[in-house]
Copies of this chain bind each other. A is one copy, B any other.
Amino acid sequence: MLTKTPHLFDDATAVTAGDSRWQGRTSPDYWAFVAPFGGCTAATILRALMQHPQRAGDPLALTVNYCAPVAEGAFDLDVRLVKANRSSQHWSVEMTQGGGEVATLATSVFAERRPSWSHQPADFPGAVPFEQLRSYPKLAMTWANQYDFRFAEGEPKFSGSAPKEPSSAYSKMWIADRVPRKLDALSLMSMSDAFFGRVFHARHELVPFGTVSLTTYFHADAADLDTEDTTRVLATADAKTFHKSYGDQHGELWSPSGRLLATTTQIAYFKA
Which of A's residues lie within 8 Å of B, judged by CB?
Answer: 60-61, 63, 65, 67-68, 82-83, 85, 88, 90, 92, 94, 101-103, 105, 107, 109, 111, 113-122, 162, 166, 168-169, 202-203, 212-213, 215, 217, 219-221, 224, 238-246, 248, 250, 252, 260, 263, 265, 267, 269-272
Contacts and interface: CB of A to CB of B under 8 A. Distances in A.
Contact of A118 (B111, B118, B212, B242): B242
A260 B146 CA distance: 36
B212 A215 contact: no
A67 B90 contact: yes
A45 to B, nearest CB: 13
Tally of this chain's copies = 2
Contact of A63 (B107, B113, B252): B107
B107 A83 contact: no
Nearest to A202: B119
A62 to B, nearest CB: 9
Contacts of A61: 65, 212-213, 267
B92 A242 contact: no
Contacts of A111: 212, 245-246, 269
Contacts of A113: 243-246
A263 B240 contact: yes
A-B pairs, top 6 by smallest CB distance, nearest first, are A113-B244, A122-B240, A67-B83, A117-B272, A116-B245, A61-B213
A94 B82 CA distance: 9
Given A120-B241, A219-B243, A240-B252, A263 B263 contact: no
B82 A67 contact: yes
Contacts of A269: 88, 111
Given A107-B213, A116-B272, A122-B240, 19 more contacts: A60-B212, A60-B213, A63-B215, A65-B107, A92-B105, A111-B246, A113-B244, A115-B244, A116-B271, A117-B162, A119-B166, A121-B202, A121-B240, A121-B241, A217-B248, A219-B246, A240-B263, A250-B265, A263-B265
Given A65-B107, A90-B105, A60 B116 contact: no
A90 B106 CA distance: 11
Contacts of A244: 113-116, 118, 221, 224
B88 A212 contact: yes
Given A117-B272, A244-B114, A252-B240, A85 B109 contact: no
Nearest to A111: B246
B245 A114 contact: yes
A213 B83 CA distance: 14
B265 A121 contact: no
